[in-house]
């Protein structure tokens, strides 16, 4: 990540690891996405996962490091190495 991108962040991010569970409730049948936590901040987190269908603005229920709540997808990046998404915590 470029230095200019990091300077635009409002909150410091801390490295994190461990499993993260995301539940998408947009359809008639909820979809569960398992992933790995990459970093956290006071109001958000970033995770690697295998579902490229997460879109900006979509809401999920999450669980990681003993924390549960609702979050909004801020961005999703799909690369040849996998999928990463950033989340803004709404409640939890």
Q: Which domain holds residue 72?
A: 3-91
The per-residue pLDDT for range 45-86, each reduced to its tens digit, is 999 999 999 999 999 999 998 889 999 999 999 988 899 999
Q: Flag whether pLDDT at 10 surpasses 80.
A: no
The CATH number given to whatever domain includes residue 13 is 2.40.10.220
| Contacts of 64 by beta carbon, 8 Å cutoff, 6+ apart | 16, 18, 19, 20, 21, 37, 45, 47
Mean pLDDT of the chain: 87
Give the global pTM. 0.83
Total domain count, the chain? 1
In DSSP terms, 44 is beta-bridged to 41, 88
Q: For residue 16, with 0-12 CB atoms within 10 Å meaning exposed, 13-18 middle and 19 or more buried, which class applies?
A: middle
> Mean pLDDT, to the nearest integer, of 14-25?
92
pLDDT at 8: 56
Average pLDDT of the segment spanning 26-52 = 91
């Amino acid at each position: 990540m470029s230095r200019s991108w990091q300077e635009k962040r409002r909150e410091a991010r801390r490295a994190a690891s461990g499993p993260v569970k995301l539940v998408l409730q947009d359809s008639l049948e909820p979809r569960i996405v398992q992933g790995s936590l990459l970093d956290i901040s006071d109001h958000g987190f970033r995770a690697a996962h295998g579902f490229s269908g997460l879109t900006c603005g979509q809401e999920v229920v999450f669980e990681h490091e003993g924390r549960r709540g609702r979050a909004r997808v801020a961005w999703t990046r799909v690369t040849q190495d996998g999928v990463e998404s950033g989340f803004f915590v709404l409640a939890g």
